[in-house]
Structure formats: structure tokens, C-alpha cells
A and B are shown apart, each in its own frame.
Chain A
Amino acid sequence: MKHLLSIEELERGDMERILDRAASFAEVSGREIKKVPALRGRTVVNLFYEASTRTSSSFDLAAKRLSADVVNIRSVGSSVDKGESLKDTVQTMSAYDPAAIVIRSPHVGAAHLVAGWTPASVINAGDGKHEHPTQALLDVYTLRRRLGGLDGARIWIVGDVLHSRVARSNVIAFGRMGAKVTVAGPPTLLPRGFQALGCEVATTLDRLGEADVVYALRMQHERMTEAYVPSLREYVARYQIDGRRLAPRQLLMHPGPVNRGVELAPEVIDSPQALIGEQVGAGVVVRMAVLFELLAGGGGAAGGLRVERSDERTERQPA
């Protein structure tokens, strides 16, 4: 694999290979010295055009734990704000010969564009409302650790699906891993035609009890003023996951950051059913595995797990 631009382009075997490697990196994270030399001498550029805490910090940490040199560029204080085009920024960064560019952008397809402008491997860390593939991978990783596998699992994704790249990537990823996915939310926040992604669509939580996993999405306050829903009060009444709606056997996930008291009631956030902390922890090892896959040579798209140790001399895979 040369790039990770979307979950859509990954087969189940690709995901399993990456997540198996993530599990082996989890063992490294348990050591006192949490570093391996896999990417020593290689450079990773993190290009973040949007606010991000979890994703940017975990990519930073993941690259450093693989011994890569890391350049972090955020839209605030960089030439991004001076009107430099995305293409110019990417070409400037490419002059440093990075092995990988990690890009977070408010625009759909930004990672795809960047991949056309640089010889580096490109990782999509979120492109507008399109995809967030590493989030989907870490969510699958977290669920595999808890459930063993996703085959036959019933997963409900609840909330603002329209504006959520996490919903798109996760519907595809969960489905490819064998889960049965339902998305639910206010009709105004469910995109027309969303069934095409291979999920069911519901407008109420009446059947939420059938879910094994409830995955709540962040509900942004500005959606209220944009009249997608009449009021916070009505949203909470219909769609908030609280102790009443969440059955004891169900697992709860959320991509963060949580709006306490909006999409999730405080009592469920802090309950043992919530995997939110585990998701954050999985972020680092899964992103290490993605960087390793692209830069240190995992299997090709055809599968085939190569079992060499993490060796900086390992050749890059051809595109």
C-alpha cells in the first residue's frame, strides 16, 4: 500500500493485517522505552488544516515511537493563513523529502489531491465530511479487542450522520469486518441515499435495544442555529444516549470530543460499558501500524503478510 486515503479502498484482509500489527505495537507501548527504530531517518509531515487534539497528537506520538523525524504544521501560524495554496504548501514540504504526509483538511478529497502532488505516502487524517480512515481502524481495533471479532455484531451509529466523516468511514469499515450497521438520527441529519453505503437507516431509537454496540456521534451546537433540529432540548429528548436507553450488555463508543449532556448523558460516559478511553489509547498503536504498513513495507494490496522485523532498511513498496 502506498497511501491510506479512504477506508473504501481497503479490503478486510488489509484491515486485519494493519490491526494485527497494531496489536504487536501495543506490546511495545507497554515497555518502559516505548520506541522502535523502524522509521529512523525518515520524516513524517503532519499537515493539519483543522483543529484536532486526538488525531494530531496520536499521529505525532506514533511517528516518534517509530523513531521518525516529525514536522507538525498547523493552519494557525503557518503560511496556510497567508493564502498559500494547498498545492504550494505540499510541494514546499515535499522538498524535504518526507516519507509520509499526514493531512487533515476541511475539504473532501484533500488527501487524494495531495497524493497527486507529492512522491511521499499520504495518510488521510480526515477530509471534510468524507472519510477518517484511521479513526475507523482504531474503532475496529478497539472492538476486536473487546469482542474478539465483528462478525455478526449489530452496531448502531447515532446522531449527526450528515456532517460526520466518522460515520462514513465506520459504516464501511464495520460492514467489511462483518458487522450489521444501522445509522440513526434526526431525518434532517441523515443524507439522502445513505443506504448505498450498505447500512440500515432509522429515524428513531425505538429499536436501539437490538444493538450490541452503540456508537454516538458528536452533535455540534451550530447545527441548532442552522435549523437542522429545532432545539437542543428536543434533540436530547429523542436521541441522547443515557442510562435509560443504554442496556447493560451494550458497549458504548464515541470518537471524541464528547459534548457532555448532549449526545451522551454523563452517567454513560463514565460507565464501564464506555470504550471511549480505549479508543484514544488505540489511536497511537493503530497509527503506528498504518505508518509502518505504508513506509516500512507491510503486505501489498494483494495481502501476503511479510514477517520481517521492523527494519529501517526494508524497501519501500512500489506504488
Chain B
Amino acid sequence: MRPVDSAPAAGRPDLLSRATPSADLLVRRAWVVDPREGLDGPADVLVRDGEIAELGEPGALAAPAGAEVLEGEARHLLPGLVDPHVHLRVPGDEHEEDLDSGTRAAAAGGFVAVLAMPNTRPPVDAAPGLQALRESAAREARVPVGFLAAITRGQQGRELTEMAELRDLGAVGFTDDGVPVAGAGVLRRALQYQRLCGAVLALHEEDPGLSGDGVMHEGEVSALLGLAGIPSVSESTMVARDASLALYEDARVHFQHLSARESVHALGAAKAAGARVSGEVSPHHLTLTHEAVRRLDTRVKMNPPLRADEDRRVLVDALRDGTIDCVATDHAPHAREEKEAPFEEAPMGTTGLETAFAALHSELVRPGLLTLGTLVERMTAGAALFDLPVPRVAVGQAANFLLADLDADWTVGESGYESRSENCCFAGRTFSGRILLTVAAGAVAYRARSLALVA
């Protein structure tokens, strides 16, 4: 994939987090998997001053004075995960999440970088809002955060935001996520304007006329429950439309949270035609179906909705073969009182940062649908799609990795959540794979209580 044309103004980093002391630590004898580095075996990993200083044969490296030593035997050390799609609810809904709690959840889930969506109250659609957020992130964020800005003012789908200035100020990309850019003419202008401002346009694809007042996937379960359906074609027709526009304007477009098999086919066709397009899929769309809605649990109400098992299987295949480029959680916290409502009234969205790796490891890697290496690749690839460095386990790189016990079983929600909200669609499920340590941008961002120091 070609990078987009321009970078932010010189010296202004895309991602920001609070200042944290750099780590000095030695992880001994962990099983290291990094497909980009060709690593899949036991090794010692030494971090000095926040940088990976040395990789050695298992048991070969000695800890320098002052360094922590962690036992990695029977544990896996993987590149830190990158989530290109989260909602941190700042500004406006800090009772649901804030930069501190949201990035704590990210770190607990093994993420070393997250990209926050601009559909806040008010939306991030002008310079002051973006600057304020970036200043807050530099004080509060536990792992580096990047911010996307809106494509249209107020996400109203009419006038473009000052995309060039927003890009100069550090907007990682542009999106009206939460709602589609319904008018093809407006989107076309945004694609043209990308030649000036650069940065990816990330698109929430949905035709409002087809979604109507739908609250779940249109199919047998919605027919049984009497709930208004959101047909798969609401998404796929827009993917096809915007892929055509992207090809015509030679623009760079990223399709968010794909849910329907028809959308996957449209994405594959667009890639084959040479369009500069990419796609993401969420852990819940890869592991759950509309059958989960039968109990009317509002935690499984999200947009796009959980679809049929045939859709889910096509999504898994597409993630494996690379038609879909990466995993994104679409972490969407909501307050308890909002979700404790009849299904039709409850807001759309599930949290996902703390469960993404465990859910996909348990449901895709364990049954043999995906290798651990491919999962790691897809859970880090979002960085490159937004022209950000991909975490690597390699000497000289900033330490961005996680340590996990893949055999540790845990039940989602049993010890609460780091997120301020608890609307997790996986609540009560038992997964195998527990994150023990997350090192992000050279600093320890999360450490499980059970993880003891050797020295």
C-alpha cells in the first residue's frame, strides 16, 4: 500500500501519551512471535532505557544493574497491538470513558497505540478541539493516542472541515464515524481534497435509507423478535459506491468495521481493480452472530449489527487471506443507565479493548482458523494503514510489546473492567489468553497483579 502524500508538520508527532519513566527490564525465556521479524521461538529480550537493546538465546542474557527481570517461560512475548478504531468519549461523555480510563483499558488489552474517533460532543471538527485533546493526551494517556478529525463540520455531511490545517496539527486521519458521509458528492470532494491534506479517509459505511430505524441485522432473528432490521446491503452498497469513487479519484480510503459478506466481496473486487482501499473488522463480528441478540441483551446491540454465521465465516476467511487488513475493536463505552433500557432504546456499541486479544485467540487461533502469527500481524497492521510505525520486536526499536499467558483462562468481567463502562458483549464468557505486561513507547503501561518480578 502506498503511503499517503503528506505527513504532519515537521516535528509534530501523530501519537501522544503522558511522560512515563523508560523501562529497563529483561524478559527471560519467553516464546517470541513476530512474523515481520521472522521470530517464532524462545528468546531473552532486554530493554534498556525504553528501547529493545538485545535479543538473545533463552537464558543467555544477564540483567544489567537496576533492570527488572521477568520470567517469560511458558509465556508469549508479542509485538504490542494497535487499535485504529476506539471511542474515548472525550470531550462530552467523560462519565462513560476518558483518556486515562480508555488508555488503561487499552494497555490491559495489550494495545500500545490507539486511534480515537472524532464523534464526541462536540465533534472534533476544528483546530481548537483537536489541540485541546492532544494536550490532554500528553498529560493523561497511558499508551500513545492519535486522533482522527471529522470529514464534515459537525459530522453533518455537508461542508468539509479544514482538513489541511487539522492535518498540520496532527490529525491522524479523517472520519465521520458513527454516521456515513451519505452524499456521494460531498465524499467525492473530500477525496479530491485529500491530495492537499493527505491522511486516510476512514469511512463508516451505511445507507441511512436502507438502515431506517433498524436496530439489529435483518434476518431470521429480527423477524422472530419483531425488531426492525438493518440489511447487509445497507453497508455493502456504500462500500461499493465509495470504492468506485476512491478508484476514480485515486484516493486512499479505509473501510471501518465491516460486518457483511457482501461488503467483503465489494472490498475484494475494489482491491483487485487497483483501488487504494483497506478494511477493518471487529472481534465481535468475527466471533458472534445475530443469534446472540435472541436474549435481547443490550450489550450485543452495536452498529453495524452482529450478522449471520455465514457473514462471520466470510469475515474470518477475509481476515486470514488479507482481504480485510486489520482488526479494530470499535471500543464504544456506554453508561449503565443508557444500556439498561429496552433493546430498541439502548445506544449502539460494545467495549472491546480489554477482550479483543483473548476473544480472537480463543475463538480463532485455538480452533485453528488463524495462526497466532497471522493474528499478531492483523492486530498490529492498523498502524501502517494510518502511516504510523508498526511495533516490532527488533533491536533498536522502541519497546512496544506485550507478554501473555495463552493458557490462562479468565472470565470476562469477573474482576471488573479498566474501562469506565461495562457494556462488554463478551461479559461472562471464558477466554484463554491473559495479558500480563504491556510495554508501550518504551514504558510499562500495564502489569497484571499476578506478574511477579524475578528480581
Contact = CB atoms under 8 A, between A and B. Distances in A.
B224 interface: yes
Contacts of A112: 296
Contacts of B221: 193
B218 interface: yes
B342 A109 contact: yes
Interface in B326-352: 337, 340-345
Contacts of B225: 108-109, 130
Given A109-B296, A112-B296, A193-B219, A168 B342 contact: no
B224 A192 contact: no
A308 B340 CA distance: 40
A316 B220 CA distance: 36
A87 interface: yes
B385 to A, nearest CB: 34
Given A105-B342, A109-B343, A196 B220 contact: yes
A165 B340 CA distance: 23
B226 A165 contact: yes
A131 interface: yes
B229 A192 contact: yes
Interface in B100-156: none
Interface in B206-259: 218-227, 229, 231
Contact of A107 (B219, B220, B337, B343): B343
A158 to B, nearest CB: 17
B234 to A, nearest CB: 13
Contacts, number: 62
Given A108-B227, A108-B296, A109-B296, A193 B222 contact: yes
Interface string A160-192: 000001001000000000000000000000011
A113 B341 CA distance: 8
A105 B221 CA distance: 20
B342 A191 contact: no
B342 A108 contact: yes
Contact of B223 (A113, A128, A196): A196
A105 B341 CA distance: 12
B342 A192 contact: no
Contacts of A130: 225-227
B contact residues, range = 20 to 34
A314 interface: no
B220 A193 contact: yes
A85 B340 CA distance: 9
Contacts of B342: 86, 105, 107-110, 113, 128
Interface in A101-148: 105, 107-110, 112-113, 128-131
Contacts of A71: none
A197 interface: yes
A87 B340 CA distance: 8
Contact of A197 (B224, B296, B340, B345): B224
Nearest to A130: B226
B223 A129 contact: no
A197 B224 CA distance: 7
A128 B296 contact: no
Nearest to B340: A87
Contacts of B231: 192
Contacts of A110: 342
A129 B228 CA distance: 9
A194 B219 CA distance: 8
Contacts of B340: 85, 87, 113
Contacts of B220: 193, 196
Interface in A53-88: 85-87
A120 B257 CA distance: 41
A192 B226 CA distance: 11
A20 B341 CA distance: 36
Contacts of B345: 107
Given A107-B343, A192-B218, A192-B229, 11 more contacts: A8-B224, A87-B340, A107-B344, A108-B344, A129-B226, A130-B225, A130-B226, A168-B224, A192-B219, A196-B220, A197-B223
Instruction: Please name the 9 residue pairs, one residue from A and one from B, whose CB atoms are nearest each other, closest first.
Output: A107-B342, A129-B226, A109-B296, A196-B220, A193-B220, A130-B226, A191-B223, A193-B223, A194-B223
Interface of A: 8, 85-87, 105, 107-110, 112-113, 128-131, 165, 168, 191-194, 196-197
25 contacts: A85-B340, A87-B340, A107-B343, A108-B296, A108-B342, A108-B343, A109-B225, A109-B296, A110-B342, A113-B342, A128-B226, A128-B227, A128-B344, A130-B226, A168-B226, A191-B222, A191-B223, A191-B229, A192-B222, A192-B229, A193-B220, A193-B221, A193-B223, A194-B223, A196-B223
Interface of B: 218-227, 229, 231, 296, 337, 340-345
